[in-house]
Chains A and B, each alone.
Chain A
């Protein structure tokens, strides 16, 4: 067996690219990029790729911004090994909200700074980071800013990219701004939906009373704990004042489970509740499904997971293992061994005061580089999707 101890890059060796990395993060943050409106950030990413002299720079039909850093390997396109690194480009904020980032000595504050400006900034800084560390990978490094991750976007960007990508991808890394130490190698089964209630004559509570009944009945589903499944209620929207009963309301929810069958069961149960409510009151109640993920994972003992754990340990970062509902699931669906990694520490996620710490970013980058080097040195057998090192 080859020596599996990964080489660890040092965060302190990145001082010379510090302002370049931070500049890329800040510019990503200050470029509005709501889901379905990500063109400006994609243009910024491809401009950076051009400056870095990457090859095969493109924006595809789904709006994904891609560039290829050629490795030292020989061979035609079909024989070449490729490592994929992705960061989603969308933010939860509408384009007309203030996107200014405030920079202090230790922290940066602003909308979308953690999710996912740090991820995008790290993505476009990677070629300079590798160069600064004197690392030339054998494999080609395919860097992609993927679109339409949030909400109804349903990972349309990464799904389109994987369906149409020409290179054979040996392994993938998904970048998320926070939290440093995050280590995801499984994706949760997920279903995201909206319950829409409309009525012209609903009494003094309007549709709010009907929505409240539906919420109560969802909370009464007894098998949730047994099935190790969660129903997250994300928002209720109805009405606009004090004394006008609303005629239309929406309840947004998400079902999460590590078992696809459980997601389906709870989905069926909620559908029954909605249909029963529709039948028994003077309102139109409809359930729309906006996004769905099937669960997937590489095993706990997979060499990619083991190496990530060792690297985090050597960088004195406590790993925090948890499943993901984001880009990772699209990669695992295609049986590509992949991880989601966090880059820095932060707080106030998804608020206007979203905050990241500056110094840990460079530990986060060292972690990414170290894992890239591990993947680059590992053979296809080691990285095999179903590889289980615990049997060896």
Chain B
């Protein structure tokens, strides 16, 4: 247990960033060009006409027109019934219907499908995925994610987190993912894959990944894609292959509890299928009693370990005193 905690603490220190560290885009472009990297930005969509325009305008003007950091911006759509693709194209994005990419492989409606097909359609050595529903979109959503991959060859997968709840008086604040993270994914990771609890927001929809990793990953087409990526990349490359970047606040529409229920169901499917394929279903690891959360202290993050032991009592009818008092033999 101590070894896991030490490893997580080391990783938090070396591989967790704040986006402000990478504000100098000129340096980022110079390093990208020195290494001869190409970067693709993929925005998966389904009925996002209200938000896609601003996402394209701000990312294209800053990261393609002003600084040549991104080599292509592509919208991959699951078949929107609104004007998502027309709006995106009018501001200079390349637009694709997911169904038109690799048609011989068929089409399945789901965000993971679009992310998977992007690997075939886009040219980049690094693909950065950004959701279209971010109302306060800004270049940091891309620079913060691609920078660790540009500067550090050993990092393969950078994940976003958004963590700025109210400041606490002692300078310490709880660090939270969304509701599904805290209720479902963090408890599961604490039990089965404790190192992955180091991901402050495992379900965030923004991440940047190297092609040589992406092309080897299976893709659940629905809600399970983020969870399964973390497990698969961790098993193949270990925790050191990940980085995570704090991108400040993400403003988006809130999902209903019903929708979160569906999301949880999809995540559980992916999670259990991984337990099955890893032969863990009938050989469960020793169940951990340590639940791992995080708190932010100034600019750094630390683990909060809680021992939670679920002891059980037998049925009352098996207790001798009870049986006597009820006149039972």
Residues of A with Cβ closer than 8 Å to B?
16-20, 22-24, 26-27, 30, 51, 100-105
Chain B 47-64 per-residue mask, 1 if CB under 8 angstroms from chain A, else 0: 001110110111011100
CB distance B57 to A105 under 8 Å?
Answer: no
Interface residue range, chain B: 20 to 34
| A101, B50: Cα distance in complex, Å | 10
Are B53 and A105 touching (Cβ within 8 A)?
yes
Contact with A along B83-127 (1 / 0, CB 8 A): 100110011100000000000000000000000000000000000
Interface centre among A16, A17, A27, A105, by most B CB within 10 Å?
A105
Contact A105 B92 (CB under 8 A): no
A20 engages B53 (CB within 8 Å)? no
Q: Are B54 and A26 in contact (CB under 8 A)?
A: yes
B65 CB–A CB distance under 8 Å: yes
A22 touching B57, Cβ below 8 Å: yes
A100 lies within 8 A of B87 (CB): no
Enumerate chain B residues within 8 angstroms of A51, measured Cβ to Cβ: 66
Q: Which residue of B has the minimal Cβ distance to A17?
A: B65
Besides A22-B57, A103-B51, 20 other CB < 8 A contacts?
Answer: A16-B65, A18-B92, A19-B56, A19-B57, A19-B65, A22-B61, A23-B57, A23-B58, A23-B60, A23-B61, A27-B58, A100-B135, A101-B54, A102-B50, A103-B53, A103-B54, A104-B53, A105-B86, A105-B87, A105-B90
A-contacting residues of B (Cβ < 8 Å)?
49-51, 53-54, 56-58, 60-62, 65-66, 83, 86-87, 90-92, 135-136, 251
B245 to chain A, nearest CB (A): 21
Sort A-B residue pairs by CB-CB distance and give the 4 closest, nearest first: A23-B61, A103-B53, A103-B54, A19-B61
Q: How far is the CA of A100 from the CA of B137 in the complex (A)?
A: 10
User: CB-nearest residue of chain B relative to A30?
Assistant: B136
Q: Which residues of B contact A22 (CB under 8 A)?
A: 57, 61, 91
Q: Given the complex of chains A and B, what is the CA–CA distance between A19 and B86 in angstroms?
A: 15
Complex CA–CA separation, A16 to B86 (angstroms): 18
Q: What number of A-B contacts does a CB cutoff of 8 Å give? A: 51
Q: Which residue of A lies closest to B50 (CB)?
A: A102
Q: Are A19 and B91 in contact (CB under 8 A)?
A: yes
Q: Which residues of A contact B92 (CB under 8 A)?
A: 18-19
In Å, the complex CA distance between A24 and B65 comes to 12
Known interface pairs A103-B53, A105-B83; A19-B136 also in contact (CB < 8 Å): no
In whole Å, how far is B214's beta carbon from the nearest beta carbon of chain A?
27
Closest to B61 in A: A23
A114 to B12, CA, bound (A): 45
Nearest CB on A from B92, distance (A): 6
Distance in Å from the Cβ of A50 to the closest Cβ of chain B? 11
Residue pair A26, B87 in contact (C-beta under 8 Å): no
Q: Give Cα A18–Cα B65 distance, bound, in whole angstroms.
A: 10
Residues of A within 8 A of B49 (CB): 104-105
Instruction: Point out the residues of chain B lying under 8 angstroms from A100, CB to CB.
Output: 135-136, 251
Q: In the complex the two chains form, what is the Cα distance from A104 to B57 in whole Å?
A: 11
Give the secondary structure class of B's interface: helix
Residues of chain B with a CB closer than 8 A to A17's CB: 65
Which of B50, B57, B62, B135 counts the most chain A CB atoms within 10 A?
B57
Q: Which B residues are in CB contact (< 8 Å) with A102?
A: 50-51, 54
> CA–CA, A102 to B66, complex, Å?
22
Are A26 and B57 CB-contacts (below 8 A) given A20-B66, A51-B66? yes
Identify 23 residue pairs between A and B in the complex whose beta-carbon atoms are under 8 Å apart, listed by A's number: A18-B92, A19-B56, A19-B57, A19-B60, A19-B61, A20-B65, A22-B91, A23-B57, A23-B60, A23-B62, A26-B57, A27-B58, A100-B136, A100-B251, A101-B54, A102-B54, A103-B57, A103-B87, A104-B49, A104-B87, A105-B49, A105-B86, A105-B90
Q: Which residues of chain A are near B54, meaning CB under 8 Å?
A: 26, 101-103
- B251 proximity list for chain A (CB < 8 A): 100
Q: Which residues of A contact B53 (CB under 8 A)?
A: 103-105
Shortest Cβ distance from A101 into B: residue: B54
- CB-CB under 8 A from A101, the residues of chain B are 54
Q: How far is the CB of B65 from chain A (nearest CB, A)?
A: 5
A103 CA to B217 CA in the complex, in Å? Answer: 35
Nearest CB on B from A22, distance (A): 5
Q: Which B residues are in CB contact (< 8 Å) with A20?
A: 61, 65-66
A359 to B: closest C-beta gap in Å: 10
Q: Closest residue to B83 on the A side, CB-wise?
A: A105
B186 CB to nearest chain A CB (Å): 30
* Across-interface contacts of A19 in B (CB, < 8 A): 56-57, 60-61, 65, 91-92
Q: For the complex, what is the distance from the CA of A23 to the CA of B56, rounded to whole Å?
A: 9
Expressed in whole angstroms, the Cα–Cα distance for A105 and B90 within the complex equals 7
How far does the Cβ of A99 sit from chain B's closest Cβ, in whole Å? 10
Write out the residue numbers on chain B whose beta carbons fall within 8 Å of the beta carbon of A16. 65
Task: Report the separation of the CA atoms of residues A30 and B134 in the bound assembly, to the nearest whole angstrom.
Answer: 14
Q: How far is the CA of A100 from the CA of B136 in the complex (A)?
A: 7
User: Which of A19, A20, A30 counts the most chain B CB atoms within 10 A?
Assistant: A19
Residues of A within 8 A of B50 (CB): 102, 104
- B87 / chain A contacts, CB cutoff of 8 Å: 103-105
The distance in angstroms between the C-alpha atoms of A30 and B87, with both chains bound, is 20
Per the bound structure, the CA–CA distance linking A102 and B251 in Å amounts to 13
CA distance A102 to B61 in the complex (A): 17
**Cα A22 to Cα B57 with chains together (Å):** 7
Q: What is the minimal beta-carbon distance from B22 to any residue of chain A, in angstroms?
A: 16
Q: How distant is the Cα of A105 from the Cα of B91 in the complex, in angstroms?
A: 8
Which of A24, A51, A104 has the largest count of B CB atoms less than 10 A from its CB?
A104
Report the separation of the CA atoms of residues A20 and B57 in the bound assembly, to the nearest whole angstrom.
8
A100 CA to B134 CA, complexed, in Å: 11
